[in-house]
Amino acid sequence: MKKINVKIRGMHCASCANNISKNLKKTDGINSANVNFSTESATVEYSENKIDENKIKKIVKDTGYEVVEEAHNENHHDHEDKNEKKLKWKVIISVILTLPVLVRMFWMWEVPGELWGISLTNWIQHDLTFLVVFIFGWQFHKNAFKGLMRLQADMDMLISIGTLAAYFYSLYSMFTGGHLYFESAATITSLILLGRLMEQKTKGRASRAMQKLMELGAKRARVLIDGKEVEKNLDEINIGEIFIVKPGEKVPLDGIIIKGNSNLDESMLTGESLPVYKQIGKEVFAATINKDGILKIRVTKKQEETMLAQIIKTVEEAQHFKAPMQKLADKIASIFVPVVIGISILTFAGWFLASGDIGNSIIYAVAVLVISCPCALGIATPIAIMVGSSVGAREGILIKNGESFEKAKNIDTIVFDKTGTLTEGKPKVQEVLVNKNLDFSIEKVIKIAASLAKNSDHPLSRSVVEYAKTKNTELINVADFQEITGRGVAGKCQEHETEILLGNLKLLEEKKIEIRWAVETEEKYKKEGGTILFVAHGDKVVGSLFITDEIKKDAFQAIQKVKDMGIEPIIISGDNKYAVITVAQALGVKKYFAEVLPQNKQKEVKKLQDKGKRVIFAGDGINDAPALVQANLGIAMASGTDIAKESGDIIIMKNEPLKIAEAIELSRKTFRTIKQNLFWAFFYNILAIPLAIAGFVSPMIAALAMSFSDLTVIGNSLRIYRK
């Protein structure tokens, strides 16, 4: 199974997206197709052994739309800017030509003279209307004809039928002495063009954050080849090549520093304002800015695999989400146009039978056609998702799937993993104790502990190793090393062939070691809220290390914010009860789970769900993966290297708990906006169509109202930008 994203040009309404989607879905080999009018793209999942990428693109082209190839993707926004300028001039000239025709409704200006027995005044109205309808409004008729040839109806068909009906009836009336409706045909065309221009401008603003994200990366890199610097395009650079980044330049690709050190600005990816110090062996990411030193970097990721590329891909995929309500709206939109044409015909027939006035009957039928355009229904969800996910990316909140917006709506409980989420995750050794009943020094206790810990990546182990470095402790080699989840580490001292241990009381009990001194020590320190690791040599506990982890500066603010949202906070940790109690009390959290093994965190989440709770789990995304998947919504605190493998629905790029609360707030706000958009889109059509049928709405007012409904939905979505 493979998934591709196809950029499409030429869609002008939600019905276009539905037509493309329908043709893709009915093709053998295509499992799913999601076409998004707002992002002008399609996400297609297909079986490679049945269909290929070129065939998928051909289906889009055969439906009547242009596929933007990858090579031209960079120029896509330039093309859109040119289109906007072109449309702007069309609107200006169209409005200028329409004004004299429209003004005659209120001021009966006259031009003396006749041609073929018809006044020059009528000829001028006709000529101006002809230019507006057939020159500046030609796109509506062209698209309508294409749709007709494929038996596919869309919004342009409604506009085309409406304006042509008003124009040709007026042309007939001009020769027979009837009433003219040229102003309706010209005004509808001008107003729809104006609406399209305003929609394009506001839609452009919605995608601007995404565009800026795409523009963050460098275009070329200075690669070292045989000791010389050679500039290369990023797509020509392979893994293992070495490039140079000078002060003030962007890092072009993800890699490892092999020479030099510097401070790097990673704010464009993480939202972190302070530069991060990097030295030999540290990973750097594409689009970050080198502040001072000269760096030599070995490439570890190709252009399409970098952290920036993954973020862009993730955000794009999230923007294709459709809420169940939107799927209903899309179904309605797909049958809406034929139904509206039918209603319009019935409106004409009803008014003609009732009044015998063919002119008014046509105008009322035209009003039904124009006011019923289902565009607002089609863009209600995608435009809100586009804005919400773009805002998230800008703020260091990566929303991996659009379902996150819906999942957050009814959440009532959030479970925070303590270490690394609410606390710094960088424990520090505060004190080392020795068992005075034995002949062991503090230096030897540190030596045993650090020699074991150097083989482990656990934060507690790293803190022990760092402490040993400050004491210039010489470490020994350990054989038969074993990491025991939730307990500690074990091995064999190669010098004395003796088993050595570093871990908690449970580990000592399992190894059947005398624990009297360990119990007394833990009793003494446990209420201070730290973690105690015991060091054993042979069958004796020789010492202990007291380790603490600082609470993050914005953790209290994050807890308060989730409480204000009506969500109950719970803390979960594998640490001892008193360490967890200390953090819980400091943050004002009443409920907590302590001494929970990593594999049991998922079970605790499941227990809460079984009680009817809707749960968010917020963790570091490494050993918390099962719990993140089990939760109704998983939020992972991630480093850049974890982007591709995180199990969470949302990834917090900046390692701050407050961002978790902001992610929930953004998700809820976005989903609330989707509901508002769909309500107004449905409400508009439910109210507008009966008014048009009853003859209370003129075609000009209908065109204005239809454009206004689109702008209402877009404008409402743009409110998400407000913090």
User: How do residues 284-319 score in pLDDT, each as one tens digit?
Assistant: 888 888 888 899 999 998 888 887 777 666 666 655
Average pLDDT over residues 393-402: 77
- Given a cut of 70, is residue 691 above it in pLDDT? yes
Most confident of 401-405, 497-501, 557-561: 557-561
pLDDT in tens, 312-323: 666 666 555 555
- Of the listed 265, 417, 549, 575, which one is catalytic? 417
CB 650 within 8 Å of CB 635: yes
pLDDT at 465: 92
- pLDDT of amino acid 647: 61
Residue 12 has pLDDT above 80, yes or no: no
Per-residue pLDDT, 207: 53
Cα–Cα distance measured from residue 225 to residue 401, given in angstroms and rounded to the nearest whole number: 41
What is the pLDDT confidence band of residue 641, given thresholds at 50, 70 and 90?
very low
230-239, 472-481, 538-547, 622-631 — which is least confidently predicted?
A: 622-631
For range 374-380, the mean pLDDT: 65
**Mean pLDDT to the nearest integer, 195-209:** 60
Section 326-348 average pLDDT: 73
Q: Which residues contact 543 (CB under 8 A, 6 or more apart)?
A: 432, 433, 434, 435, 440, 442, 445, 449, 534, 535
| CATH fit for domain 2-68, picks 3.30.499.10, 3.40.50.10860, 2.60.40.10, 3.30.70.100 | 3.30.70.100
Per-residue pLDDT, 614: 93
Residue 644, pLDDT above cutoff 50:
no
Q: How far is CA 460 from CA 320, 405, 489, 500, 614, in A?
A: 41, 36, 11, 17, 32
Average pLDDT on 34-48 reads 78
Residue 208's pLDDT is 53
* Residue 182: pLDDT band with limits 50, 70, 90: confident
Return the percentage of the chain with pLDDT > 90, whole number: 17
Between 377 and 168, the higher pLDDT residue = 168
Most confident listed range (139-148, 155-164, 227-236):
227-236
Torsion from C-alpha of 144, 150, 154, 156, nearest 10 degrees: -10
- Work out the angle between the directed axes of helices 120-130 and 76-103 (0-180°, nearest 10): 170
pTM for the structure as a whole: 0.62
The closest of 366, 375, 378, 345 to 706, measured between CA atoms, is: 375
SS3 at position 126: helix
pLDDT for residue 608: 94
Q: In the predicted model, is pLDDT for residue 342 greater than 80?
A: yes
> Which pLDDT belongs to residue 270?
55
Q: Please confirm, yes or no, whether 620 is among the known catalytic residues.
A: no
Q: Report whether pLDDT(372) > 60.
A: yes
Structure tokens at 206: 């919605």
Backbone angles phi, psi at 153, to 5 degrees: -95, 145
Q: Backbone phi, then psi, for 107, in 5-degree steps?
A: -135, 110
Overall residue count recorded for the chain in this entry: 723
For the domain 428-548, what is the CATH code? 3.40.1110.10
80 pLDDT tier (thresholds 50, 70, 90): low
Residue with tokens 């943050």: 587
How many angstroms separate the Cα of 109 from the Cα of each of 93, 98, 121, 175, 281? 21, 14, 8, 20, 81
Where b means 16+ CB within 10 Å and e means fewer, 111-144 reads eeeeeeeeeebbbbbbebbbbbbeebbebbbebb
pLDDT higher than 70, residue 688: yes
Mean pLDDT of all residues in 552-562: 92
Residue 85 has pLDDT above 90, yes or no: no
Q: Which of 604-613, 633-642, 656-665 has the lowest mean pLDDT?
A: 633-642
pLDDT confidence of residue 215: 61
| Per-residue model confidence (pLDDT) at position 709 | 73
For residues 288 and 640, what is the distance between their CA atoms, to the nearest angstrom? 12
Phi, psi of 177 (to 5 degrees): 85, 15
Average pLDDT along the chain: 81
CA angle 533, 538, 541 (to 5 degrees): 35
Least confident of 108-117, 491-500, 606-615: 108-117
- Cβ atoms within 10 A of the Cβ of 2, count? 12
Average of per-residue pLDDT across 671-687? 82
Q: What architecture (CATH level 2) is domain 397-424+551-658?
A: 3-Layer(aba) Sandwich (3.40)
pLDDT, position 61? 84
Check whether domain 218-309 has CATH 1.10.3080.10, yes or no:
no
End-to-end CA distance of the chain: 39
Average pLDDT estimate for 169-185: 79
> What integer pLDDT is reported at residue 645 of this predicted model?
43
The owner of tokens 């009018």 is 37
Task: Burial-class residue 201 by CB neighbours within 10 Å (0-12, 13-18, 19+).
Answer: middle
Query: Domain boundaries in the chain?
Result: 2-68, 218-309, 397-424+551-658, 428-548
- pLDDT at 669 exceeding the cut of 70: yes
Q: Which residues contact 207 (CB under 8 A, 6 or more apart)?
A: 38, 39, 386, 390
Which of these ranges, 369-383, 534-548, 577-591, has the smallest mean pLDDT? 369-383
Higher pLDDT, 143 or 569: 569
Whether residue 640 is predicted with pLDDT greater than 50 in this model: the reply is no
Assess whether the region 2-68 and the region 428-548 belong to the same CATH fold: no
Q: What are the residues whose beta carbons fall under 8 Å from the beta carbon of 27, sequence distance 6 or more? A: 51, 55, 56, 59
Which percentage of the chain shows pLDDT scores above 70?
Answer: 84
pLDDT band for position 558 (cuts 50, 70, 90): very high
DSSP per residue over 322-391, as a string? --HHHHHHHHHHHHHHHHHHHHHHHHHHHHHHHH--HHHHHHHHHHHHHHT--HHHHHHHHHHHHHHHHH
